[in-house]
Amino acid sequence: MSVAGLGSWKHGTSGNPNVLTDFSVEGSAKIMSLNIDLDSQEVDMTVWKNGGYQSFEQTFKNGTIAAVYKYDPTTWAQLGALYSSGEFIDWENGPIDDTTGNPKISGSMFVKKVSLNQAPGEGLKINVDMRIDGPVAFGMFS
């Protein structure tokens, strides 16, 4: 199950980098927003092509994940430990949810930045920037 409109968001924790912990369970959801940004570089291949048009090819791929978590002491400690350790952890996102047959995207990442957002009249939020490491897999839940 997931938070309405946010899908499923799971990732490893410090000491358990390959065990996926669900941060999107309905009723106790810890994730407030999620942005997965995949990008790539390109190289100009015009000199190798003909026809008078510029031509490009994709080269190095990279990605980042920006997430906002609801503050609670456990989540704060988990995310802080990931930042401090710098360890690579597995992650998995189901844009709809994690029901069999629905799409998913997964990979490895590390926590690059953690910040605490305190605004009057709002609950505490933990902003986290993560860097994707290596390939990203697009698939389906089974």
Q: Where are the alpha helices (DSSP H) in the chain?
A: 73-85
1: its two tokens: 């199950």
- The pLDDT value recorded for residue 1 is 40
State residue 87's pLDDT score.
94
Task: Please list, residue by residue across 87-126, b when 16 or more beta carbons sit within 10 angstroms of its beta carbon and e when fewer do.
Answer: bbbbbbbbeebbeeeeebbbbbbbbeebeeeeeeeeeebb
CATH node for 8-36+59-140: 2.30.110.20
Tens digits of pLDDT across the chain (142 residues): 444 456 899 999 988 999 999 998 765 678 889 999 999 999 988 876 667 788 889 999 999 999 999 999 999 999 999 999 999 999 999 998 899 999 999 999 999 999 999 888 888 999 999 999 999 999 999 9
pLDDT at 99: 92
| Backbone phi and psi for residue 23, each to the nearest 5 degrees, phi listed first | -100, 10
According to the model, what pLDDT value does residue 2 have?
A: 44
DSSP label at residue 73: H
Model pLDDT, residue 50: 65
Model confidence pLDDT, tens digit, residues 77-101: 999 999 999 999 999 999 988 999 9
